[in-house]
A = this chain, B = another copy of it.
């Protein structure tokens, strides 16, 4: 009834004080028992009993404040809907959950401002680490990442001198795999539908396409650019078909490929007979299409898993030297390029 309450007002939920008082021990003892460290048999019994009686549950925030850990891992990505990120997210979730942590997901819309804002917010330490897959990498990204007090792992390319753990693949050779495959199948007019050229994957894939085409002595004049979405892919294919007559199309990701497939079928072309099609990322989408779409796998699940692992390792030991994992691309051949249905 006193005006100045010390602990455990009648309205509040039970705290370790409640439990301690009820068990007739100090909060230190209560805490120790509840954490399973130390305590005599009798004390353990009394505390456990008291805790059960009042339905005590430790407060995660208070614990975090003390331990300086939130138990949260953030995953920041342009678009939660893109199946390639979904695949990564699944893999990351698995690793993160395994370590007893939880996953926070951010949608950045691919905007530099919101990505750097997110990185800067890491200073608030609301999370123990972040995995980010920026589609563009600017100086402010790099600056924010290196200034962050909590570990950051990047999925994607990063300038070599940036001391940040990262997981990369080689989409340049990935595109080459696709071109080689199509050329080997006798295709001679291989077009390319790319994403924006001011993105990291966009330039890499463009370079891969041009180099591979040059290697085969073919001219790289059937390129259309849009963004990395289904609608853009469909539109790009329509533009392409309006001005050229390719016998094969390589797409910078599966969403674009599905859009292209749609455009091809609408205009009465047969896939793969008239036009062969190869996508990239090897997402579920490629398998769910009809015909199933050949796709260059960039190991999304593996990259996700590796990124999560790198992050956990660094959280465990901040002094590790920066690490860099590389996942090689591989081509998965399906019906759309003449493989089995």
Count of chain A residues with a beta carbon within 8 Å of a chain B beta carbon: 47
Q: Is A262 an interface residue (CB 8 A)?
A: yes
Query: Given contacts A81-B83, A93-B107, are A125 and B61 in contact (CB under 8 A)?
Result: yes
Q: Is A102 an interface residue (CB 8 A)?
A: yes
Q: Is A284 an interface residue (CB 8 A)?
A: yes
Query: Given contacts A93-B80, A341-B266, are A61 and B64 in contact (CB under 8 A)?
Result: yes
Q: Is A213 an interface residue (CB 8 A)?
A: no
Find chain B residues with CB under 8 A from A258 CB.
288
Q: Which of B59, B70, B90, B266 makes the CB contact (< 8 A) with A125? A: B59
| Contact of A86 with B81 in the complex, beta carbons under 8 Å | yes
User: From A103, which residue of chain B is reached at the shortest CB distance?
Assistant: B105
Find chain B residues with CB under 8 A from A58 CB.
124
| Contact of B230 with A288 in the complex, beta carbons under 8 Å | yes
What's the least CB distance linking A128 to chain B, in Å? 11
Q: Is A162 an interface residue (CB 8 A)?
A: no
What's the least CB distance linking A91 to chain B, in Å? 11
| Contact of B285 with A266 in the complex, beta carbons under 8 Å | no
Q: Is A265 an interface residue (CB 8 A)?
A: yes
What's the least CB distance linking A125 to chain B, in Å? 6
| Contact of A124 with B288 in the complex, beta carbons under 8 Å | no
Find chain B residues with CB under 8 A from A62 CB.
65
What's the least CB distance linking A107 to chain B, in Å? 5
What's the least CB distance linking A31 to chain B, in Å? 15
Q: Is A60 an interface residue (CB 8 A)?
A: yes
Find chain B residues with CB under 8 A from A87 CB.
81
What's the least CB distance linking A310 to chain B, in Å? 21
Q: Which of B90, B265, B287, B288 makes the CB contact (< 8 A) with A80? A: B90
What's the least CB distance linking A293 to chain B, in Å? 12
User: From A102, which residue of chain B is reached at the shortest CB distance?
Assistant: B104
Can you list 17 pairs linking A and B with CB atoms under 8 Å apart? A58-B124, A60-B126, A61-B61, A61-B64, A61-B70, A61-B126, A64-B64, A71-B126, A81-B87, A89-B105, A93-B107, A97-B107, A102-B104, A105-B105, A230-B287, A258-B288, A266-B290
Further contacts, 16 of them, CB under 8 A, given A105-B105, A230-B287: A13-B149, A58-B124, A59-B124, A61-B65, A62-B65, A65-B65, A80-B93, A81-B83, A81-B90, A102-B126, A230-B288, A259-B288, A261-B290, A262-B288, A265-B290, A266-B290
